[in-house]
Amino acid sequence: MAIPISYSIKSLVTRKLTTTLTAGGMALVVFVFAATTMLAEGLEKTLVETGSRQNAVVTRKGAPSEVQSSVTREQASIIESMPGIAAGAQGGRLAAKEIVVLISLTKRGTDKPSNVVIRGISSASAALREQVRLTEGRMPRPGTYEIIAGSSIARRFEGAKRGETLAFATRQWRVVGIFDAGATGFSSEIWGDADSLMQAFRRPVYSSVILKMADPLRFEDIKKAVESDPRLTLEAKRETEFYAEQSKAMSTFLRIMGTSLTVIFSLGAIIGAMITMYSAVANRISEIGTLRALGFHRSSILTAFLAESLITGLIGGTAGLVLASFLQFFTISTLNFQTFSELAFSFELSFWTALKSISVALIMGLAGGLLPALKASRMKIVDALRSV
Amino acid sequence: MPLLIKMLLKNAFRHGLRTGLTIAGMTIAILAFGILTTVVDAWYAGVEASRANRLITRNAISLTFELPLSYYDKIRQVEGATKVSYGNWFGAFYKEERNFFANFAMEAQSHLDIVTELVLRPEERDAYIKDRRGAIAGRKLAERFGWEIGDLVALTGTIFPGDWEFVLRGIYKGRDETVDESIFFFHWDYLNESLRETMPERAGQVGFYIIEIARPELAGAVSKRVDSLFKNSLAETLTETERAFAMSFVTMTEAIMTAIQLVSIVVIVIIMAVTANTMAMSVRERLSEFAALKTLGFNRAHLSFLIFGEAMVITSLGAALGIALTFPAAQLFRSELGQFFPVFNIKPATIYMDIAAAVIVASVSAVIPSYRVAAAPITAALRRIA
């Protein structure tokens, strides 16, 4: 025969302060766990969505990012004329020769500089990125010193709003438009005309060639063609993989940090739960004796006390998760170590993260309640009844 | 006084298991707090180690752009600049990509003249300067890969593609513990000569100049003089103090450091909840005892002091244990994660903050129980059976 669950709930309600404090400790642990996991997931999602399954990126062999890569004009033309590239609406080939450099810009309201990606685009660039939408103004005209800024750059950096100008490479660049690329890395970039930028930066080489594959399933053919051509010291990657690799170091760092913090912090919370449950057992010895005398089994007592502890965990876990879910409204902007440039991303709460967070809370409840509940269930009826 | 301490100890340990658990919780919290604070300090280690009498000149566009070597002679003539050196971030790795460490190509003689905190034996220094393919490595870096003087070290370049071979001519030590002992330096000339053969368009380019100035107060004036020399040229410069330069790296990752700092406070709040809970329980069980003390004439202040003292016993024991454990934990951290945190030292400030945390946790957790004791009418409390 089982002890009704309402018994466990009522005992929790009786000790309001203790229950709140115990659950509060657990809530904080769950909050830290959920927050770091959400951050790592937000970062991964942003960089994974930056790439498209249909696109391939060609860079210098071994270059960890586009900034460190160089593709000469001749090499770029060879790539452009390769078979397997999709045709665009106007009949041209969907391949874009781009230059990517880092410039140091100042954040609004501070004097702190940060590295921003500036991408020199060619005519096919916009068509290759379906996520990119112009929200204000127009595209930069080829051959001019006009630029457009990604939405998170326009918001956070001095001089990056439409109509303002940015000074770099001894020239003034006018912002003629703002584009939004949703939760992708492009929202943290500035785009301008590739030829103008190459001239201004005196960099006679491209950084990468992006191409849309006519048949994404035949990526291996393109890869082979690029990597076996002796004139090219380049390599091809799927765009999705290319960007996923750039999130690796940082998201691994966040996950390791999150997990180790959770493990350490949860020890504290488990101890809190254990203290509470031991005292709950100690205060109710005669009650336990009565229950046993009424015919409740040892296992029922064990379950009732475990339930009490698990409910505390559940309350704490839910509170922590609700708290963490508000983080979704925030955007973090920080340096991605791998690309050495600023990247904005948000906390991302997925179903799995929610499930894992609640499990962490339940595990804490279980670990904290197990020993006290065992102690309660092992009491002898006579001894328990005799105690006052 | 001894009687009071005896009483506080007796009261605190009346419930051995509970108190033991609370102390354990406190220990974990202080340990976590100490390590997290040290992690944040380690992040700022570069800023800490920077010297006030040094300036760094780099391309104004961003660090990924270079400056012509021809600037060297012009910068040397700037008034207030006593010594000038230059170099490039090399960005290579040893054997595998995960074996990453800082490596620079530097103009060897002037670099060692300026960066005097790198301590080399005179014969090692001479050997390094004489050998064009020579290199020096920090003590920790050499230990990590088991390098010894005279070894042939091959690095794989990412910014400058290819395999590069060096002969290790010296292992430097830091003059004090703020110096990063995990950097690899070699001759800029060696890099430049190789580039001239393989990639002539990239030769003759310098990543940054280091300028030593006569007095720290001249920093602003000399920076301005250098930058105005190259104003409106193809490669404009940005000169700042070494500290500002190091800081610019750190501020770019500020968001993460702020998060770690916040989290280290969260752990204190968690333990606050746990300790407050312990105190609330032990006071509730002894409410009649406190009522008896009240009838004997002890006032509210006395009782609050007793409760606070008991909480102090628990938190300070936990904190003492936690502080004691922080040192071996930091040692473990250094040996396991030394490549990410080359300088990992516990600062005295961290210990003071640990102690402050213990006092704050004790005070906060004593507030509600003290209030309860004070508010409970004597008769009601005496009648009550815990």
B299 and B361 belong to one structural domain = yes
Residues of B in contact with A70 (CB under 8 A): none
Contacts (Cβ under 8 Å, ≥6 apart) of A4: none
pLDDT grade for B385, boundaries at 50, 70 and 90:
low
Nearest-angstrom CA–CA distance, A56 and A387:
76
3-state secondary structure chain A: CCCCHHHHHHHHHHCHHHHHHHHHHHHHHHHHHHHHHHHHHHHHHHHHHHCCCCEEEEEECCCCCCCCCCECHHHHHHHHCCCCECECCCCCECEEEEEEEEEEEEECCCCCEEEEEEEEECCCHHHHCCCCEEEEECCCCCCCCEEEEEHHHHHHECCCCCCCEEEECCEEEEEEEEEECCCCHHHHEEEEEHHHHHHHHCCCCECEEEEEECCHHHHHHHHHHHHHCCCCCEEEEEHHHHHHHHHHHHHHHHHHHHHHHHHHHHHHHHHHHHHHHHHHHHHCHHHHHHHHHCCCCHHHHHHHHHHHHHHHHHHHHHHHHHHHHHHHHCEEEEEECCCCEEEEEECCCCHHHHHHHHHHHHHHHHHHHHHHHHHHHCCCHHHHHHCC
| Residue that terminates a domain, selected from B184, B202, B235 | B235
Does residue B68 lie within any of the structural domains? yes
Q: In the 8-state DSSP scheme, what is residue B10? A: H
Does residue B136 lie within any of the structural domains? yes
Nearest-angstrom CA–CA distance, A71 and A75:
6
Q: Could you tell me which chain B residue has the CA closest to the CA of A339? A: B64
Residue B106: its H or E element:
strand B102-106
Q: Based on the structure, what is the number of domains in chain B?
A: 2
Q: Could you tell me which chain A residue has the CA closest to the CA of B385? A: A388
The tokens of A91 are what? 């009949």
Whether A275 sits inside 8 A of B260 (CB atoms) is no
B143 and B225 belong to one structural domain = yes
Interval B74-85: pLDDT, tens: 999 999 999 999
To the nearest whole Å, the CA of B46 is away from the closest chain A CA by 16
Residues of B in contact with A170 (CB under 8 A): 232-234, 236
pLDDT for A315: 96
To the nearest whole Å, the CA of B201 is away from the closest chain A CA by 10
Q: Cα B286–A9–A5 angle (5° rounding)?
A: 130
To the nearest whole Å, the CA of A32 is away from the closest chain B CA by 7
| Residue that terminates a domain, selected from B235, B262, B295 | B235
pLDDT for B384: 67
Interval A20-44: pLDDT, tens: 989 999 999 999 999 999 989 999 8
Nearest-angstrom CA–CA distance, A334 and A313:
34
| Closest Cβ opposite residue A22 in set B22, B232, B277 | B277
Whether B252 sits inside 8 A of A272 (CB atoms) is no
Domain that holds residue B327: 2-45+254-383
Whether B18 sits inside 8 A of A279 (CB atoms) is yes
Whether A28 sits inside 8 A of B273 (CB atoms) is yes
pLDDT grade for A91, boundaries at 50, 70 and 90:
confident
Nearest-angstrom CA–CA distance, A270 and A143:
65
The tokens of A243 are what? 């960007």
B188 and B90 belong to one structural domain = yes
B138: which strand partners? B172
Q: What is the mean pLDDT of chain A?
A: 91
pLDDT grade for A386, boundaries at 50, 70 and 90:
confident
Whether A168 sits inside 8 A of B28 (CB atoms) is no
Does residue B247 lie within any of the structural domains? no
B227 and B85 belong to one structural domain = yes
Whether B159 sits inside 8 A of A103 (CB atoms) is no
pLDDT for B50: 86
pLDDT for A388: 59
Q: Which of residues 104-143 of A touch B (CB under 8 A)?
A: 104, 112-115
A338/B contact by beta carbon, under 8 A: no
| Closest Cβ opposite residue B274 in set A268, A334, A337 | A268
Which has the closest alpha carbon to B26: B318, B366, B342? Answer: B318
Q: What DSSP letter does each residue of B147-205 carry, written as one string?
A: --TT-EEEEEETTTTEEEEEEEEEEEEESSTTS---EEEEEHHHHHHHHHHH-GGGTTE
Residues of B in contact with A340 (CB under 8 A): 63-64
Whether A265 sits inside 8 A of B270 (CB atoms) is yes
pLDDT for B52: 84
Interval A331-377: pLDDT, tens: 888 888 778 888 888 999 999 999 999 999 999 999 999 999 999 99
The tokens of A338 are what? 């791998």
pLDDT for B47: 85
Collapsing DSSP to helix, strand or coil, B306 comes out as helix
Does residue B329 lie within any of the structural domains? yes
B130 and B211 belong to one structural domain = yes
B225 and B189 belong to one structural domain = yes
| Closest Cβ opposite residue A101 in set B64, B232, B259 | B64
Which has the closest alpha carbon to B170: B154, B186, B189? Answer: B186
Does residue B248 lie within any of the structural domains? no
Let me know: does A184 contact A46? Beta carbons within 8 Å: yes
Would you say the C-alpha torsion B344, B348, B354, B360 has a positive or negative sign? Answer: negative
Nearest-angstrom CA–CA distance, A320 and A28:
6
To the nearest whole Å, the CA of A335 is away from the closest chain B CA by 5
pLDDT for B225: 94
Nearest-angstrom CA–CA distance, A116 and A100:
10
Q: In the 8-state DSSP scheme, what is residue B116? A: T
Angle between helices B254-285 and B242-252 (to 10 degrees): 70
Question: Once rounded to an integer, what is the mean pLDDT over residues B150-166?
Answer: 92
pLDDT grade for B131, boundaries at 50, 70 and 90:
very high
Whether B274 sits inside 8 A of A24 (CB atoms) is no
Nearest-angstrom CA–CA distance, A238 and A260:
33
Does residue B102 lie within any of the structural domains? yes
Q: Tell me, what amino acid is at A14? A: T
pLDDT for A247: 84
Interval A41-77: pLDDT, tens: 999 899 888 999 999 999 998 787 898 888 999 999 9
B69 and B125 belong to one structural domain = yes
pLDDT for B372: 86
B93 and B36 belong to one structural domain = no
Residues of B in contact with A21 (CB under 8 A): 273-274, 276-277, 280
Q: Which of residues 46-65 of A touch B (CB under 8 A)?
A: 60-64
A81/B contact by beta carbon, under 8 A: no
| Closest Cβ opposite residue A269 in set B158, B201, B270 | B270
Quote the percentage of chain A above a pLDDT of 90.
61
| Residue that terminates a domain, selected from B235, B268, B303 | B235
Q: Cα B134–B140–B144 angle (5° rounding)?
A: 90
ipTM over 0.85: no
Question: Once rounded to an integer, what is the mean pLDDT over residues B377-381?
Answer: 82
CB pairs under 8 A between A and B: 138
By CB neighbour count within 10 A (0-12 exposed, 13-18 middle, 19+ buried), where does A230 fall?
exposed
B149 and B175 belong to one structural domain = yes
Nearest-angstrom CA–CA distance, B222 and B54:
10
Residue B81: its H or E element:
strand B81-89
Whether A103 sits inside 8 A of B62 (CB atoms) is yes
Q: Tell me, what amino acid is at A151? A: S
Let me know: does B267 contact A265? Beta carbons within 8 Å: yes
| Closest Cβ opposite residue B234 in set A112, A114, A202 | A202
pLDDT for A283: 83
B138 and B39 belong to one structural domain = no
B130 and B22 belong to one structural domain = no
Interval A281-297: pLDDT, tens: 888 888 899 999 999 99
Residues of B in contact with A168 (CB under 8 A): 60-61
Residues of B in contact with A264 (CB under 8 A): 28, 31-32, 267
pLDDT grade for B58, boundaries at 50, 70 and 90:
very high
Interval A189-239: pLDDT, tens: 999 999 999 999 888 899 999 999 999 999 999 999 999 998 888 999 999
The tokens of B107 are what? 């103009």
B162 and B220 belong to one structural domain = yes
Nearest-angstrom CA–CA distance, B210 and B237:
13
Interval B286-299: pLDDT, tens: 888 888 898 998 88
Interval A308-338: pLDDT, tens: 999 999 999 999 999 999 999 988 888 887 7
Does residue B241 lie within any of the structural domains? no
